[in-house]
């Protein structure tokens, strides 16, 4: 766990030191995406290279659908309780968040990573990738590289944390309630699925951060757990991209922000902005950054308990 936190922290420090070098942001984002793609391929290869696990992929899909849905609803319902804390403050929040984008553009990154996962799975299944490709040292090396690059991205954009000054420390309620609600949804799913409680909690605690969460799950619980976490949190992200208007109507704007989880600062931000307004986009950015920092701490902690 210390290695993961150290890699992320080092990236954040370097990112803050280089925050004025704007020209570095686009190359860093591209390298991070390429490295994430390689990680997804390695995870998929680990699943495809194991005939027993591959035969269970249908079961993984059903488990992922149930977990992804219940964790999303859990986050939204839990955050709904805090809606009243923000109504007055939101009137004074800045309105400088980015506007909405197309659904296809928002989903592009998710589809690319899912494609890398599928490619690795099929290539390994048909014996076109050597086992060395998806061995422990390769996975660990990619993981620490990704953590450092993610830290750089967070360090570049820590300006989003000004929401704490504009709205107050109560802004922390949204990411915390998003995580608590996801864990509650995961616990409920445990009673419906043939998965143990810790595995369900690990899957729920990723709160949409499937790229990093799936690698940590593979390290702590094996390829099967990593595959279910990846699929469940892709389901969560897709639900938010498609159903945010309904979520915002039923659970309120804060519920929609919490349901978006970590992708609320990236892929889900345009749709959250479009259907909750620019004021809540600031909260979505802050919540996503906070959850991105929490996930690499909570998942290893759950495995250590």
Residue that is written with structure tokens 């990723």 in the block: 206
> How many independent structural domains does the chain possess?
1
**For residue 257, what pLDDT is reported?**
94
What pLDDT was estimated at residue 92? 45
**What is the pLDDT at residue 111?**
75
Burial of 265 (0-12, 13-18, 19+ CB in 10 A): buried
Give residues with Cβ within 8 angstroms of 15, minimum separation 6. Answer: 151, 152, 153, 154, 155, 156, 158
Determine the Cα–Cα distance for residues 146 and 8; give it in Å rounded to an integer.
Answer: 9
- d(CA 133, CA 270) in angstroms, rounded, equals 36
d(CA 236, CA 232): 6
The tens-digit pLDDT sequence of the chain (305 residues) is 567 667 777 888 898 888 888 788 888 878 887 887 887 788 788 778 877 777 777 889 999 999 999 999 999 999 988 776 665 555 444 344 444 445 555 566 667 877 888 898 899 888 888 887 777 788 778 878 877 887 787 677 666 556 556 666 778 889 999 999 999 999 999 999 989 999 999 999 999 998 889 889 988 999 889 989 989 998 898 888 778 888 988 999 999 999 999 988 777 876 787 788 767 877 887 898 889 889 999 999 999 98
Radius of gyration for the chain, computed over Cα atoms and rounded to the nearest angstrom? 18
Report the predicted TM-score, pTM, of the whole model to 2 decimal places. Answer: 0.71
CA-closest candidate to residue 143, choices 64, 42, 221, 28? 42
Residues for the chain: how many in total? Answer: 305
What is the C-alpha separation between 73 and 130, in angstroms, rounded? 40
Which pLDDT score is estimated for 161? Answer: 57
Cα 196 to the chain's mean position, in Å? 22
Cα(122)–Cα(21) distance, rounded to whole angstroms?
Answer: 40
Q: What is the pLDDT of residue 81?
A: 83
198 is in which domain, residue-wise? Answer: 2-304
d(CA 91, CA 93): 6
CA distances to 55, 67, 172, 231 from 252, rounded to whole Å, are: 41, 22, 17, 26
Supply the pLDDT for residue 259: 96
SS (H, E, C) 87-145: HHHHCCCCCCCCCCCCHHHHHHHHHHHHHHHHHHHHHHHCCCCCHHHHCHHHHHHHHHH
H-helix segments, the chain: 2-17, 25-48, 51-55, 57-80, 87-90, 103-125, 136-156, 163-167, 173-190, 197-204, 210-221, 223-260, 269-276, 278-304
CB hemisphere CA count around 29 (13 angstroms)? 10
């Amino acid at each position: 766990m210390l290695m993961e936190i150290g890699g992320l922290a080092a990236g954040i420090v370097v990112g803050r030191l280089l925050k004025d070098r704007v020209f570095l942001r686009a190359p860093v984002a591209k390298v991070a995406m390429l490295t994430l793609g390689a990680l997804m391929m390695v995870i998929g290869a680990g699943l495809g290279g194991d005939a027993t696990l591959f035969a269970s992929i249908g079961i993984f899909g059903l488990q992922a659908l149930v977990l992804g849905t219940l964790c999303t609803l859990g986050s939204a319902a839990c955050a709904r309780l805090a809606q009243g804390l923000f109504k007055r403050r939101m009137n004074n929040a800045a309105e400088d968040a980015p506007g909405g984008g197309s659904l296809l553009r928002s989903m592009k990154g998710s589809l690319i990573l899912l494609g890398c996962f599928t490619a690795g799975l099929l290539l390994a299944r048909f014996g076109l990738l050597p086992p060395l490709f998806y061995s422990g040292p390769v996975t660990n090396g990619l993981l620490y590289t990704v953590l450092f690059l993610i830290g750089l991205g967070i360090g570049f954009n820590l300006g989003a944390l000004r929401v704490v000054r504009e709205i107050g420390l109560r802004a922390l309620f949204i990411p915390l309630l998003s995580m608590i609600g996801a864990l509650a949804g995961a616990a409920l799913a445990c009673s419906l699925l043939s998965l143990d409680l810790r595995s369900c909690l690990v899957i729920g605690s990723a709160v949409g951060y499937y790229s990093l969460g799936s690698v940590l799950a593979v390290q702590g619980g094996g390829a099967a757990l990593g595959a279910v976490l990846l699929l469940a949190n892709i389901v969560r992200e897709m639900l938010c991209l498609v159903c945010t208007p309904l979520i915002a109507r039923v659970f309120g704007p804060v519920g929609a922000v919490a349901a978006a989880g970590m992708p609320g600062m990236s892929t889900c931000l345009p749709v959250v902005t479009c259907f909750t307004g620019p004021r809540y986009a600031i909260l979505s950015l802050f919540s996503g950054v906070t959850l991105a920092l929490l996930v690499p701490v909570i998942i290893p902690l759950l495995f250590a308990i």
